[in-house]
Structures are given as C-alpha cells and as structure tokens.
Amino acid sequence: MMGSRRGMLRWLWLSVVVVGLDQLTKALAEEWLPPYEPLELLPFLNLRLMYNEGAAFSFLSQAGGWQRWFFVAVGVVVTGILVAWLRGLKSGERWQALGLSLIVGGAVGNLIDRILYGRVADFIDVYVGRWHWPAFNLADSAITVGVVLLLIDALREARAPRTAD
C-alpha cells in the first residue's frame, strides 16, 4: 500500500513540465515584449509584459521589499504541503493528483521568479472594453486549472453514493 501511495509522486512529471513551460514563456516574453506596452492578439487579449512584486492581484506589491521573502516562505511551505498531500493519495485519486501537480508546478514556477528576481513576470492580458483582468502567466493558469480540478473532484465525491465500510 505504501508503495502505491509513493507512486502518486509520479505525477510530479507534470509539475516539471509546467515549470519548464512557465520559465520558457516568461523568458520569451521578457526577450520579445517591451515592458508595459500591449501587443494586441485578439479584441480581448493582449500580450503585455508586467511585473508583480506582490501576490495575486498585486497584493502587497508596494510593501517595501519584505514581502518577497514572506511569499517565498509561504510558497515553499505550501508546495511542501501539496507534495505531501500528493504522496498520500491512493492510486485511484487521479483527478486530485492532476490538480495538485498543476498547482505545484505553477507555485514553483512563480517561486523561482521571486527567489531570482524578487518579482513575477506576467504577460497575458485579458480584457473586455476598458476592464482588464489582472495580468497573469502560465504558472498562474496552471494553479487556476489545478484548483478547478480539485473542486470538480470534491463535488464529484460529495455527490457519489456512500458505501458502508
């Protein structure tokens, strides 16, 4: 039984792919896009290189610098908890493994930026008219998709008929 639980760590290959793609796309954005200038792709989508020294939605971005190491510490702790959760999954809990692996990959991708540069590069700018969603990157997208998968799995579990043990 313990071997099969450790086997769920095999899903970390997806985390590694997310980190690699995230770092590649951020490097390309920094090479090809001038900061803060939009490159329109579609009537609702720009590429616009921006930097975030805070957390989601620029939370604490103007805090004076201490937030860098605070968010690094939080990222390391949360990533450790998620990997432990992944390790403890049973072999049939694939939706959870997929969701957790995406979240871990996204968290590590943004963690790398915080450690190396003190900020996270964002470059995807979705908007409607003058309303813009906060810019994001591939790591943020992986985290969002991972959370949605965990929520879907939780809803499926809640609706599944219970069996007597």
DSSP of 34-91: -TT--EEEETTEEEEEEEESSSGGGTTTTS-SHHHHHHHHHHHHHHHHHHHHHHT--T
In the block, which residue shows the tokens 């805070």? 54
Active-site residue, from 22, 113, 122, 125: 122
Inter-residue contact 129 to 39 (CB < 8 Å): no
Which residue in 116, 135, 15 sits closest to 72, CA to CA? Answer: 116
Active-site residue, from 22, 113, 125, 140: 140
Catalytic, 125? Answer no
Q: Please tell me the distance from the alpha carbon of residue 46 to that of residue 36, in angstroms, as a whole number.
A: 11
Catalytic, 165? Answer no
* Residues catalogued as catalytic: 122, 140
